[in-house]
Amino acid sequence: MMSRSRFGYLVWRIASRLVSWHPHYALLRGMGDVLEALGKPEVFSVAVYDARMRAVLGPFLLGRQPGPEYDEEIRELAAAMPASDIPDIEKWARQRAEQLIGDAINSGSPIDVVEGLANPLLLDFVQYYYGVPTEPEFLKQIRSCSSYIFGLDLLNGPRGHVEAVAAGRAISDRIDRAIEERKLEIADGGASRKDVMTRLIEGSLSTDRIRDTIGGTVTGTLIPTIGTFLHTLEVLLDLPRAKLESIRHAARQGNYQRIRRVAQEAARLKPFPAALFRYTTDDTCLASGKRVKAHKAVMLDTTSANRDRRAVDRPGDFEEDRPAGQRLLFGHDRHRCIGAIDGREIAQTLLQELATPLLALPNLRRVRGRPGRLGPLTLSDHLLLEFDPQ
Ligand code: HEM
């Protein structure tokens, strides 16, 4: 019988092919083509994100073409998130995940890994690391902006646009207020901790650019980390029993490094986001011979690239020791994820800290029926898992 993961992938292939038939879209799905397009920002431009980012959260790195503004912002952001932060992030996330899982154990009910683990941990992380207060509606606002910026405009109707603009305004106002308060604290000599906000204020960017950089980075932290974590669980919980048991055992032993590798291999089989987008400024021909016309929104289908047999050995198999070069989870070249590059692996650290204590719960399994599965929309509101009493 076909595995659930394979079935999901085939549905995705059909959906992405349907999108590519739209006259405004083109599709690249081979690993070589996708990497080549990501490496040519002059032809495969990020303008497709830029226009929408400016409408909601303001201009941001991922929408910027090569140039001095991009260079200054990436330098400032990298300096505000030094690799030396990783041990503190790991310690913080471990404590918070253990608290949340402890709450679930004490409640005696199944754990909702969305509302009871991923969302609260990531929202608290945004406060802890970026210095942005996250009231209850914050995640809803970020989701609205993110689906408008990164979603298909075929699906983003006028309502999506209007809601995203309002949400973007609310988020930007909140960050502005937080920056003003922080500046006062610094002036009083009282800024207690050096988080990303304090470091950016101490750098060279104007207040507007600090706000926009924080808004974009917070979005880039929250949505993909939550989405990747949930996709990872979907894949792991469908693995053959013996394989899953060996992973659970590693989690119970506190083998965080193995769970980190496992999470990335699971994410390869169901990456989040499922595709990246670019906009062609010119007619172009790729090394593979594939031609793409100018003025297309190009869907870079990373879900398919991650299963391309020409680049990935036994692409449908779960192989946690696979070389890193056989997966594409965090982009490539100029716009590669700044939170996941060597030495500053914030994303991988958060994934490992979320997954390890969860997988260590005795006999962790889905609850029966729909609540035990993610819905067709990737950022579901709930995913319920049960476990045996400790
Ligand atoms: C599992 C979690 C994450 C995943 C899967 C992920 C994925 C990605 C991908 C695929 C890109 C490139 C997008 C493109 O080229 O169209 C990207 C860019 C980016 N990511 Fe992440 N990301 C994650 C977590 C994070 C975290 C934790 C941070 C911040 C600490 C972050 C900050 C950024 C930024 C700032 C960019 C834009 C970089 C640029 O334009 O130069 N991401 N991410």
What is the tens place of the pLDDT at every residue in 348-358? 999 999 999 99
Backbone angles phi, psi at 44, to 5 degrees: -100, 85
For residue 359, what are the domain limits? 50-271+346-370+377-390
Ligand 1 atom, smallest distance to 272 CA: 5
Domain identity same for 27 and 79: no
Q: Is residue 76 part of a domain?
A: yes
Domain identity same for 71 and 119: yes
Query: Measuring CA to CA, how many Å separate 134 from each of 86, 127, 182, 193?
Result: 22, 7, 16, 18
Domain identity same for 118 and 207: yes
Q: Is residue 341 part of a domain?
A: no
Domain identity same for 211 and 300: no
Domain identity same for 177 and 96: yes
Domain identity same for 157 and 72: yes
Give residue 175's pLDDT: 98
Query: Measuring CA to CA, how many Å separate 92 from each of 89, 122, 243, 374?
Result: 5, 11, 30, 27
Total number of domains constituting the chain: 2
Give residue 342's pLDDT: 80
Give residue 8's pLDDT: 86
57: domain CATH number is: 1.10.630.10
Give residue 333's pLDDT: 95
Give residue 194's pLDDT: 86
Q: Is residue 122 part of a domain?
A: yes
Domain identity same for 239 and 355: yes
Query: What is the distance in A from the centroid of ligand 1 to the CA of 349?
Result: 14
pLDDT means per 10 residues, the chain with 390 residues, are 78 91 95 98 94 96 95 97 96 98 94 97 98 92 94 79 95 97 89 87 97 98 97 95 96 98 97 96 97 97 97 96 96 96 94 98 94 74 90
Give residue 160's pLDDT: 83
Q: Is residue 311 part of a domain?
A: no
| Pocket of ligand 1 from Cβ distances under 6 Å | 61-62, 74, 81, 217, 220-221, 224-225, 228, 272, 276, 329-331, 335, 337-340, 346-347, 351
User: What stretches of the chain show up as alpha helix (H) in DSSP?
Assistant: 4-20, 31-38, 47-56, 68-80, 86-107, 119-125, 138-150, 158-187, 196-202, 207-237, 241-252, 256-269, 302-305, 346-359
Q: What is the DSSP letter of 288?
A: T
CB 234 within 8 Å of CB 374: yes
Domain identity same for 238 and 140: yes
